[in-house]
Amino acid sequence: MSKQKVMMGNHALSYGAVVSKVNVISAYPITPQTQVVELLSELCSNGALDSEFIKVESEHSAMAACIGASAVGARTFTATSAQGLALMHEMLHWAVGARTPVVMGNINRSMGPPWTIWSEQTDSLSQRDTGWLQIYASSNQEVYDSVPIAFKIAEHKKVQLPVMVVLDAFFLSHTSENVMMMDLDKAETYLPKYKPKHKLDVNEPYTFGALTTPEWYYELRYKIQKAHENAISVIEEAQSEFKDMFGREYGLVEEYKTADADTILVAISTAASTAKDTVDELREKGVKAGLLRLRFVRPFPFKKVREVLSSAKKILVLDRNLSPGIGGIIFQEIKSAMYNESNKAPIYGFIAGLGGRDITTETIHNIFEEAEKQDPKNIIWMEVKA
Amino acid sequence: MKYTIPKEELVHPGHLACQGCGGALAMRIMLKTLGKNTILTFPACCWSVIDGPFPYSAVKVPLFHTAFETAAVVASGIKAALNRVGDPKTNSVAWAGDGGTFDIGIQALSGSAERNDDMFYFVYDNEAYMNTGIQRSSATPKGAWTTTTPVNHPKATPKKDILAIMAAHKIPYIATASIAYPEDFTRKLEKAKEIKGFKFFHIFAPCPPGWRANPKDTITLAKLAVETKLFPLLEIEDGEKYTINLPKKDKGKPIEDYLKLQGRFKHLKENDIKEMQTFIDKKYNRLKILEEISQ
Ligand SMILES: Cc1ncc(C[n+]2csc(CCOP(=O)(O)OP(=O)(O)O)c2C)c(N)n1
Ligand SMILES: [Mg+2]
């Protein structure tokens, strides 16, 4: 029987690693992720989790240790945030090129300087070109469930790539919510032991990552792109199997009242859950509003996004992140997804909530209002003290 | 005479090392003793080229190429995984250059050593960044020419004392080794195989192109480094017990014998050489004292 527990997002992430029966963990503490390393250390030391925990001296080393362990065939897990994720950058590329299916939790935190610890998606979105798959959760239940789902996708022979499970600092990491826990045996049926196609094995010695000339490197990159394309159906299968076994349903995206919507807001993470309330309120007033939440940002769910947005009259994108010099990152992606489509609905880019400032239902009401008043713009700043 | 070095070759002929490469010979000796039950990790260094481009490989054991600063911790990760999903008796071996050890990799190295992870770490020290074309590292000796320490501004500071740094970690085993003394190297490898925890080997590896030396002099140079006491062969157990294996005699050969075979020291004046000799004598005497008080 599955039991229910009230827990913070960081614990949901940790218990996600527990039900995934990870073999090797390597992590380094950083606010707002520290409860993950603390709880996993505790569970490893009291035997609740039968796993090696390499307590490294940096995040760069945490990722490197996970890559080495994964190359031997261990299921590996780590977690970090912001500065730690940025420090890992070189090894994030390495995990992809080495095709090591590491799963990592990243607690979204804005980047310094100035020092800050509050939520923003720029840390993980600026790693989107490394080739990691990225899942953005909007509840602690989703954080917990996404860890075994992530391993199932990462280790699939048609994917063989690392996956990041991303959650908002404080809004999820430190907020307690109800989480339905999985039965360990049932979880193992869902996610059996990792059996890599290739591994470091003294009985079958291979060299991994040797100098590769232009004659072959190109094809290896091609295969990584293909793996992302394959991942779409692998994700759908993994999530439908999850629904059959545990009753909880996840998609590549989450649609909320989009079917007949005139104006659709696109968002990720907890800002998207807040937006549901605004959509409800607008609906009560007769405004045909809808919400599209991207659960996966990589691989980018082109087909799904285009389908959902195909009949919208206006598309609004909310970004709690900034790529200085161009604007919101999700906005760029939505725009590029829609460019060759027959629906030429205007697309508005909104920036809000940087550095963890609250995005309230009122903020989102104002976003819908601005879109009525203004012509489409790439950047409309919400609540900025100019 | 009894042959002490295992005969089986685990390095293929036809690797890409330059003529007279000390690093290549060091690998050959090391793998003979550690044997087939070994997984190698290489960071960026000459050996990432020596091993050969995809799809070739010069070693007969599994090998993982990793980023420049991560050799130690990747080998730690490999060992942790072997303990869970593999054979815990498999040797996890990090094999790095001096740059990957003394400089960019020292943080991860310190981490693995401090945790006393059960693994081997070898630095083959050719005293500069050779892969990228002879730039100084913190292992480059004072006075030496490299492309970033030109003769009118040669290296101004002494070689970093990596042994002291590693000894301060109180790891179970540290040894220096030389390609000119393969029996000594092999004996130390055999000994280290029986020790659980972090094993650190500092191997002196002449580089003819980088040192502006004749490839035929590689072994002579390695031998002279020991005979001049520049690079004594020694062991440090638990960071405390020092044993000097070679040279046996306190009076070493003059450093000039070693310097004159290399273009990288050609610009040195008499005074520079005198200063170097004093530095070597002092360092060796200090080792002698450490040996004495730890016996
Ligand atoms: C992060 C990073 N910086 C720089 C380099 C370039 N690089 C590759 S090998 C190398 C020097 C290696 O020197 P050392 O460790 O002494 O090994 P050797 O080449 O002498 O065998 C450098 C600077 C790199 N690969 N990665
Ligand atoms: Mg070097």
pLDDT exceeds cutoff 90 at B1: no
Arithmetic mean of pLDDT over chain B = 97
**How much is the pLDDT for B2?**
76
Instruction: Encode pLDDT of A329-345 as tens digits.
Output: 999 999 999 999 999 99
Specify whether A30 is located in the same domain as A118.
yes
**Whole-angstrom distance between the N-terminal and C-terminal Cα of chain A?**
55
- The residue segments making up the domain with residue A119 are 4-246
Give B64's contacts (C-beta < 8 A, 6+ positions apart). Answer: A68, A71, A98, A200, A207, A208, A209, B39, B40, B41, B42, B74, B78
pLDDT exceeds cutoff 70 at A1: no
Closest chain A residue to B58 measured between Cα atoms?
A207
CA distance, residue B19 to nearest chain A CA (Å): 21
**Other CB atoms within 10 A of residue A340 CB:** 7
Specify whether A126 is located in the same domain as A164.
yes
**How much is the pLDDT for A25?**
98
Instruction: Encode pLDDT of A152-196 as tens digits.
Output: 999 999 999 999 999 999 999 999 999 999 999 999 999 999 999
Instruction: Encode pLDDT of A196-213 as tens digits.
Output: 999 999 999 999 999 999
CA distance, residue B134 to nearest chain A CA (Å): 20
Specify whether A234 is located in the same domain as A258.
no
User: Domains plus CATH for chain B?
Assistant: 22-294 (3.40.50.970)
Instruction: Encode pLDDT of A274-290 as tens digits.
Output: 999 999 999 999 999 99
- Which residue, A216, A246, A276, sits at the end of a domain? A246
Specify whether A232 is located in the same domain as A95.
yes
- Which residue, A215, A246, A277, sits at the end of a domain? A246
**Under an 8 A CB cutoff, do B69 and A60 touch?**
yes
**Under an 8 A CB cutoff, do B73 and A207 touch?**
no
Specify whether A219 is located in the same domain as A280.
no
Instruction: Encode pLDDT of B203-238 as tens digits.
Output: 999 999 999 999 999 999 999 999 999 999 999 999
Specify whether A140 is located in the same domain as A52.
yes
Picking from A162, A171, A166, A124, the residue whose alpha carbon sits closest to that of residue A143 is A166
Instruction: Encode pLDDT of B137-176 as tens digits.
Output: 999 999 999 999 999 999 999 999 999 999 999 999 999 9
User: Least CB-CB distance to A212: which of B53, B81, B111?
Assistant: B53
User: Least CB-CB distance to B61: which of A70, A91, A202?
Assistant: A202
Mutation choice for B interface testing from A49, A61, A155 by most B CBs within 10 A: A61
The CATH number given to whatever domain includes residue A88 is 3.40.50.970
CA distance, residue A31 to nearest chain B CA (Å): 21
Specify whether A239 is located in the same domain as A322.
no
Atom of ligand 1 nearest to the CA of B47: 21
Quote the ipTM score. Answer: 0.97
Specify whether A226 is located in the same domain as A106.
yes
**Under an 8 A CB cutoff, do B78 and A70 touch?**
no
What is the rounded distance in angstroms from the CA atom of residue B81 to the CA atom of residue A72? 6
Mutation choice for B interface testing from A20, A93, A211 by most B CBs within 10 A: A211
Specify whether A39 is located in the same domain as A112.
yes
The CATH number given to whatever domain includes residue A302 is 3.40.50.920
For chain A, the farthest-separated pair of C-alpha atoms sits apart, in whole angstroms, at 69
User: Least CB-CB distance to B73: which of A56, A200, A207?
Assistant: A56
Q: What is the pTM of this model?
A: 0.98
**Under an 8 A CB cutoff, do B62 and A205 touch?**
yes
CA angle B247, B248, B252 (to 5 degrees): 55
- For chain B positions 24-53, those within 8 Å of chain A (CB to CB) are 36-39, 41, 48-49, 51-53
Instruction: Encode pLDDT of B99-138 as tens digits.
Output: 999 999 999 999 999 999 999 999 999 999 999 999 999 9
**How much is the pLDDT for A110?**
98
Picking from B167, B171, B175, the residue whose alpha carbon sits closest to that of residue B198 is B171
Specify whether A48 is located in the same domain as A137.
yes
**Under an 8 A CB cutoff, do A52 and B73 touch?**
no
Give A36's contacts (C-beta < 8 A, 6+ positions apart). Answer: A10, A11, A13, A14, A27, A79, A105, A107
What is the rounded distance in angstroms from the CA atom of residue B51 to the CA atom of residue B40? 12
